[in-house]
Structure 1
Amino acid sequence: MEVTDVNNVKIYNLSCGKTFPDWLPDRKKRQLLKKEPALKRRIELIQDFEMPQVCDTITLTPDGQYIIACGVYKPRMKCYDVNNLSMKFERCFDSEVVKCKTLSEDYTKLVFMFCDRYVEFHAQGGRYYRLRIPKFGRDLDYHKSNCELFFVGDTSDIIRLNLERGQFLNPYQGSSTSYNCCKINPSHQLFVCGSVDGQVEAWDPRVRERVGILDCALSSLTVDPQGLPGVRSMAFKDGVNLAVGTETGIVLLYDIRSNKPYYTKDHMYGLPIKNVVFSPENDLVLSMDSKVVKIWDRETGKPFTSIQSQYELNDLCLIPNSGMFFLACENTKIQSYFIPSMGSAPRWCSFLDSIVEELEEDQDDSIYDDYKFVTTKDLEELGLNHLIGTNLLRAYMHGFFVDHRLYNKAKAASNPFAYELYKKKKIKEALDAQTGDRVKLETKLPKVNAELAKKLYELELSGEGTKKAKSSLALLKDERFKALFENEDFQIEDE
């Protein structure tokens, strides 16, 4: 577990820490567990909560009991039971999953949309049916009242599939060339879809007609004036509040009764907003691009906290009525985060609350044994100033904490003769220790022509030649030559 403090909000990274290699036998694992204290302090929230290479999508079933994660490689889906904190089953596919949707309250009815235009319906026992949609899809959603499945993608048509009849219906004719996302409002069943032209079209499934258009491009055109910013993600808070994420890294909050956003949030990275989620319990908004997850107040836009990952982010899944969420990223591990300020831990992992309370009671100062404190000047000397702003440096006070291994490598690369200097220094210290009982005559050298004054002092002490000794002593004490050691204009240039 790793604890970070961003904007005075503590964030607990539950997926951080050392793990055992899969090929180790149980006996070796027990031995390592006794030796390594870092392995004892780790928290494995859900067993095998990872993918072979990359996790693309992650979602929670409506009953909140199962987590569905899809990734590669080989393309597969994993279902996790949160009550047992372990994987329930795993299924492999022929191609990568673009979107996953649960049709039932649990995992027994699932639909997967693949990158090769195929759509698969899965039941509890496995794959139930497979079909192919006319165009490549990017998003899908399910309308429970009409038992219709909507697909949007690389076409101006909004494809409709009736699951009760088992056939395609006449598609909705949109005004854009293609669409990136779609969403159904659970309150009044309004169907909205975001286009590549920066428009949000609203359709009423009861009359099968378009009832409104929101032009989001005009509100976010300041970032890229050469092209229209497309709509990448959407989310509903309730019946009227809609969040729209654009391709240019801007989140727009709308009241659907108005055609102008009541708040605009810029991520300042220019990256597409991949996911937007509302947290209605504390009136916060979670917006995610490939680099950062920003959590901010819905009404004022005041930053609450943010999470930066060293891996590219793909998807976000928030556990309702809690402060826990999962991040699918370009890594084998699925990232798990817990923020107590957002809410308590879910019921199936309530032990996290007691762990957090114990950590809060421990007021000891943090000592970083594996890190070295460096200033900005030290980073410039080591050639590591380009790492400022990355996860390799931990900002603290007027400097940074850097890993000891990285610091030693950079120091060895910047000064390859450091060992020779170190050896000479030790030899000099040993010689000084042997002659420490001798009487030392300390003389204060002037700032100007210090080398010349040092030679004259040494000549005077050595006593070589009476004339030279007397002349050197006269040169040092004679007032006529005083400016030679005080005025910088008389500085001797060795070169």
Structure 2
Amino acid sequence: MKISNPVDVPVYTVAGSETARQLPEWLIRKRKRSLKQDPDFANRVELLQDFEFEEASSCVRVSEDGNSLMSTGTYKPQIHVHNLPQLSLSFARHTNCLNETFLLLSQDWTKSLHLQADRFLEFHTAGGLHYSTRIPRYGRDLIYDRHSAEALIPAAGVNAEGSGEVFRLNLEVGRFMKGFEVDVGGDDLTTAGAGALQGGIAAGSVNTGSIAEDSHNLCAFGTSLGTVEFWDSRQRSRVGTMSPQDALDGRSEITALTFHRSGLELAVGNANGRIHLYDLRSPVPLLKKDQGYGSPVKNLIYLDSAVSTRAQTSEPKILSADRRTIKIWDARNGSHWTSVEPAVDLNHVEWCKNSGMLLTANEGRQQHAFFIPQLGPAPHWCSFMDNIVEEMSENPDDPSAFGKTPGGEVYDNFRFLTTAQLKSLSLDHLIGQTSLLRPYMHGYFVAQKLYEEARLISNPDLWQEQRQKSIQEKISKERESRIRGNKKVAVKVNRKLAEKMLEREEKAERRRAKRVLERGGDDDMETDKAPAVGAVDEAPKPVKSVLKDPRFARMFEDEEFEIDETSHEFQAVNPSTKFPKGLTVVEQEELESQKGSSGDDSSSESEEERARPSKTALSQDKNRISTSEYKKSGHKSQRGPQMVVSSSNRKPRQSRDQTFGSRVSKLKDRRAPTSANNTVVGERQITFAPAKMQKKPAASVSEGQRHDRKDRRSASGNVFRKM
């Protein structure tokens, strides 16, 4: 955005011909890449999408609800409607002829009345052209009386009686009513009263009109004769006539009229660029204002905002615009407030109510948008403009900028310190004594260079700390670049289960990625394919992870859901947890033998059953050396001679007393045994007789046949020959 008029009140040009250089259409495609380096193009703000016409625009209006914007232009003749909350163009509609002016009849854009250059009035709705009718003579302006639902069209020329006419089209009845006959002078444009020839070249006209719809609903019409006639819409009669005169050039054509909201004040603009402010109760103007360029005044707007801001001034303002400039001045004394001079001629100016935004229809291709923060806040559909303006306030060209320093020097290379931090650096003696400390809120801004020097003086070993810190940062950066191992699961409870599930998911993901690479297709396409009839789906769709499922979140967070690995239920489901993982079969046998020789007679298994390796232990580690392979390799068992159990009688053992006292009492009552093997209480005495291992004798084999070959099958089926 560019700033214009930086003297008193800054004006920001948001959109228009001044924001960026215009390029020929045949150069746009060529210079698209080079425009990235163009500062004018890079710093542009595109407020509304396609807020332009191919040649020029004639009129622009904002709807009463503030959500729509309609504008007309050429060439080709067309109508643009913008959706303001979306900052985009809704649609473009073409017409048969150029548009002079238009009005929005509804709160939004859906109903509009357009005055065409070929004497047609067109009614447009959301669906398109609804109805069109023709008027007898060319229209100059368009006014809508909401109280009587009538469209008033001031026209050029005179009727059969030699008077100018304002056509009345009643929209409720759907037909023309008797118009207002306004005196527009004779053929010489100097004599008053009727007498002009109908269709004459020098015939007068009713140029413009205005209606005080917020108060007494009085209609005012400005004529080419330089007079203003007031008509009462209820009685359809003339109320009075006013003749604004200037000492320099006398009476001139009235080109602009507007009522104040109170209805007691009227602003009149003529073809010589002069504005007269009248009180309806007095024929003498309150003040006179010269636009300065001698061009006809096109627009007069009372800027009465209902929303106030800190930067906004409370004095009433009036906007006056001709084809060269837009001026805003004080309504009380006529003092200049601010002005805008676009690079192209203006056709119409629209003010977004209760804001500081001005939109224009002009002769250039791009329509202009100006934002004045002191006039009002940004509209609700572009509230971000306030933030952009605040950022640009640091520009030295803006009078509201902070200080006189160049832009970007206010906070760059400065550090904010509190009073306690200044005391720790021994800089508190500079407070209020020098400009090196800039007070701001609860602290001070200190130059970064001064801060570094004071920090080194207060802590001489700072460079060593800084060096250690930089070394540690490099080491940590190198560690981050290394390939990490297993991922750590961030859970509070059941970490082993979570790691196991995560490892299973990673394996499934690797298998799926490998399968997709083998097929050479996209993963999404492969998963979306439905399996054929009767075929088995080898790659099921991935299921949502349990770790990420909120239904099982408490399982890994609440301690009440912690798995007890020592419980019987857990060991029944996971039998591998009974024995230590990684033991060989020999070590397992030794562990079993130690348990068996502990003197616990409550075990129901025999010594031979304990000596056998369990199937679970054999299945745990197949890479370990088994007992048979250990013996075949020539190693002897380190367990010593085998112990053979002998018993004279086998009976089921009785249950042993549980308490120590009961066992001691029984030992005292025992008597001497009657025999070597039997006791009084019916127990049996067991002895262990060590015996050496002996080789089995070789079986006797007949001379004619050998049976030592196990891999050879005997031809005879008689098994008694082998004995």
TM-score by length of 2: 0.48
Equivalent in the alignment of 1:334: 367
Task: Report the CA distance between 1:144 and its aligned residue.
Answer: 1.4
- Conserved? CA contact 1:315–1:327, under 8 Å: yes
- The alpha-carbon distance between structure 1 residues 24 and 79, as it changes in their structure 2 partners (threshold 3 A), is farther
Give the alignment of 1:288-437 within 5 angstroms. 288-363=321-396, 365=406
Give the alignment of 1:211-230 within 5 angstroms. 211-216=239-244, 218=245, 220=246, 222-225=247-250, 228-230=251-253
Provide, for residues 157-209 of structure 1, a one-character-per-residue CA deviation record: whole Å limited to 9, x for no partner: 11111111111111112122421001111122111111111111111111111
Task: Report the CA distance between 1:280 and its aligned residue.
Answer: 1.3
User: Take 2:28 and 2:87, find their aligned partners in 1: how far apart are those partners?
Assistant: 22
User: Take 2:338 and 2:407, find their aligned partners in 1: how far apart are those partners?
Assistant: 21
Equivalent in the alignment of 1:392: none
Equivalent in the alignment of 1:393: none
- Conserved? CA contact 1:52–1:72, under 8 Å: yes
SS in 1 for 2:49: coil
Provide, for residues 385-418 of structure 1, a one-character-per-residue CA deviation record: whole Å limited to 9, x for no partner: xxxxxxxxxxxxxxxxxxxxxxxxxxxxxxxxxx
User: Take 1:242 and 1:90, find their aligned partners in 2: how far apart are those partners?
Assistant: 36
Provide, for residues 320-359 of structure 1, a one-character-per-residue CA deviation record: whole Å limited to 9, x for no partner: 1111101211100001101111111111111111111111
User: Take 2:91 and 2:25, find their aligned partners in 1: how far apart are those partners?
Assistant: 19
Task: Report the CA distance between 1:28 and its aligned residue.
Answer: 7.5
SS in 2 for 1:39: helix
Aligned residues: 361
Equivalent in the alignment of 1:193: 221
Among 258, 272, 280, the alignment partner of 1:248 is: 272
List gaps (5 residues or longer) in structure 2: 158-163, 185-203, 306-313, 397-404, 409-723
Task: Report the CA distance between 1:61 and its aligned residue.
Answer: 1.4
- The alpha-carbon distance between structure 1 residues 141 and 366, as it changes in their structure 2 partners (threshold 3 A), is same
- The alpha-carbon distance between structure 1 residues 19 and 289, as it changes in their structure 2 partners (threshold 3 A), is closer
- Conserved? CA contact 1:18–1:42, under 8 Å: no
Equivalent in the alignment of 2:55: 53
Task: Report the CA distance between 1:242 and its aligned residue.
Answer: 1.2
Q: Which residue identity lines up with residue 217 of structure 2 in the other structure? A: Q
Equivalent in the alignment of 2:201: none
Task: Report the CA distance between 1:297 and its aligned residue.
Answer: 0.4
Task: Report the CA distance between 1:17 and its aligned residue.
Answer: 2.0
Among 61, 64, 67, the alignment partner of 2:66 is: 64
Q: Which residue identity lines up with residue 224 of structure 1 in the other structure? A: D
Give the alignment of 1:70-109 within 5 angstroms. 70-109=72-111
List gaps (5 residues or longer) in structure 1: 368-495
SS in 2 for 1:38: helix
Among 202, 227, 232, the alignment partner of 2:255 is: 232
Is 2:194 aligned against 1:167?
Answer: no
- Conserved? CA contact 1:249–1:271, under 8 Å: yes
Q: Which residue identity lines up with residue 185 of structure 1 in the other structure? A: A
Q: What is the percentage of aligned positions where both structures have the same residue?
A: 35
SS in 2 for 1:306: strand
Task: Report the CA distance between 1:59 and its aligned residue.
Answer: 1.2
Is 2:303 aligned against 1:279?
Answer: yes
Q: Which residue identity lines up with residue 316 of structure 1 in the other structure? A: V
Equivalent in the alignment of 2:208: 181
Task: Report the CA distance between 1:362 and its aligned residue.
Answer: 4.2
Q: Which runs of 4+ in 1 moved over 6 A?
A: 19-28
Q: Which residue identity lines up with residue 209 of structure 2 in the other structure? A: C
User: Take 2:209 and 2:298, find their aligned partners in 1: how far apart are those partners?
Assistant: 13
Q: Which residue identity lines up with residue 251 of structure 1 in the other structure? A: I
Give the alignment of 1:254-269 within 5 angstroms. 254-269=278-293
- Conserved? CA contact 1:241–1:255, under 8 Å: yes
Task: Report the CA distance between 1:224 and its aligned residue.
Answer: 2.3
- Conserved? CA contact 1:237–1:280, under 8 Å: no
Task: Report the CA distance between 1:130 and its aligned residue.
Answer: 0.7
User: Take 2:85 and 2:21, find their aligned partners in 1: how far apart are those partners?
Assistant: 24
Task: Report the CA distance between 1:254 and its aligned residue.
Answer: 1.3
Task: Report the CA distance between 1:234 and its aligned residue.
Answer: 1.0
Q: Which residue identity lines up with residue 265 of structure 1 in the other structure? A: K
- Conserved? CA contact 1:137–1:153, under 8 Å: yes
Task: Report the CA distance between 1:36 and its aligned residue.
Answer: 3.0
User: Take 1:341 and 1:333, find their aligned partners in 2: how far apart are those partners?
Assistant: 25
- The alpha-carbon distance between structure 1 residues 92 and 213, as it changes in their structure 2 partners (threshold 3 A), is same
Provide, for residues 391-447 of structure 1, a one-character-per-residue CA deviation record: whole Å limited to 9, x for no partner: xxxxxxxxxxxxxxxxxxxxxxxxxxxxxxxxxxxxxxxxxxxxxxxxxxxxxxxxx
Give the alignment of 1:15-34 within 5 angstroms. 15=15, 16-18=19-21, 29=32, 31-32=33-34, 34=36
The worse-fitting range, judged by mean Cα deviation, of 115-124 and 31-40 is 31-40
TM-score by length of 1: 0.70
Is 2:10 aligned against 1:10?
Answer: yes
- Conserved? CA contact 1:2–1:17, under 8 Å: no
User: Take 1:214 and 1:113, find their aligned partners in 2: how far apart are those partners?
Assistant: 28
User: Take 1:37 and 1:7, find their aligned partners in 2: how far apart are those partners?
Assistant: 25
Q: Which residue identity lines up with residue 254 of structure 2 in the other structure? A: V
User: Take 2:115 and 2:25, find their aligned partners in 1: how far apart are those partners?
Assistant: 31
Provide, for residues 198-240 of structure 1, a one-character-per-residue CA deviation record: whole Å limited to 9, x for no partner: 1111111111111121211x2x2x3324xx3011011122121
Q: Which residue identity lines up with residue 91 of structure 2 in the other structure? A: F
Task: Report the CA distance between 1:4 and its aligned residue.
Answer: 2.0
Task: Report the CA distance between 1:310 and its aligned residue.
Answer: 1.9
Q: Which residue identity lines up with residue 205 of structure 1 in the other structure? A: S
- Conserved? CA contact 1:56–1:328, under 8 Å: yes
- Conserved? CA contact 1:243–1:276, under 8 Å: yes
Q: Which residue identity lines up with residue 321 of structure 1 in the other structure? A: N
Provide, for residues 32-58 of structure 1, a one-character-per-residue CA deviation record: whole Å limited to 9, x for no partner: 464333322110000100010011111
Equivalent in the alignment of 1:157: 165
Q: Which residue identity lines up with residue 209 of structure 1 in the other structure? A: S
Task: Report the CA distance between 1:26 and its aligned residue.
Answer: 9.2
User: Take 2:260 and 2:22, find their aligned partners in 1: how far apart are those partners?
Assistant: 38
User: Take 1:351 and 1:26, find their aligned partners in 2: how far apart are those partners?
Assistant: 31
User: Take 1:348 and 1:24, find their aligned partners in 2: how far apart are those partners?
Assistant: 33
User: Take 1:47 and 1:193, find their aligned partners in 2: how far apart are those partners?
Assistant: 37
SS in 2 for 1:9: coil
- Conserved? CA contact 2:276–2:285, under 8 Å: yes
- Conserved? CA contact 2:268–2:275, under 8 Å: yes
